[in-house]
Structure 1
């Protein structure tokens, strides 16, 4: 039985029970097994973790079963489990990655503050547009 609805159409049904990486609109990265999907692309992810990246290090927050509203998904892709372990990133403790994330966020905020001040000093207005990676 083929899960394809129409030739040439994309369907998430083919991704069921596969390990996926999901990038959300707010910049968070989730990794887990797709267990269910509906007509609105809402996802149910099993054994879900939130992976936090700071430079060449990462840490994972276990979330369990996680429901993602389809409109919040920016990117979704299959992860080959064999290839995942070959990465160049180094895993660190959750406490350590959260501390590094806080430092990184403070640095970004300071940069934005200095940029806004430089614009103001020149008589210009500056409004930082929040990109998805600015929040995490």
Structure 2
């Protein structure tokens, strides 16, 4: 098989990406996704596209000073959705001391209240637009 008809699609930049992810194998990571979700878990596998497998994964939901880690188990992340990957320092507390851990039901209620407050603010702004007389 000639060099030009190689089966691999990986280029030099993909090799660099995969070697940098290799240093995170078997470590606890924080992964920030494009949709804003924050996932925590132990990196068990990845490929040249930055698709990754987290073991013991959970989604960390934060609303104000409240947070909840929602268990996800073994979780596959599509590489194109990853914004940031960082190793967690197990020696340090992950969150500031003023944060309060709550149940999944409580964090969902807090999210709903936050959305409703945001919607109300947007509605009020639209109603008051007539005051902006430039």
Q: TM-score, normalised by structure 1?
A: 0.75
Is 1:32 aligned to residue 34 of structure 2? no
Alpha-carbon displacement from aligned partner over 1:68-112 (angstroms, at most 9, x marks no partner) = 111111121111123135632211111111111111111112222
Distance, in Å, in 2 between the alignment partners of 1:81 and 1:90 is 19
Greater RCO, 1 or 2 (C-alpha within 8 Å, sep 6+) = 1
* Consecutive unaligned residues in structure 1, runs of 5 or more: 125-136
Distance, in Å, in 1 between the alignment partners of 2:92 and 2:111 is 26
1:70 to 1:82, Cα distance in 2 relative to 1, 3 A: same
Equivalent residue, structure 2, for 1:127: none
Residue correspondences, number: 117
C-alpha RMSD of the superposition: 2.3
2:113 paired residue among 103, 110, 120: 103
Q: TM-score, normalised by structure 2?
A: 0.76
Distance, in Å, in 2 between the alignment partners of 1:85 and 1:71 is 26
Is 1:76 aligned to residue 76 of structure 2? no
Distance, in Å, in 1 between the alignment partners of 2:70 and 2:105 is 10
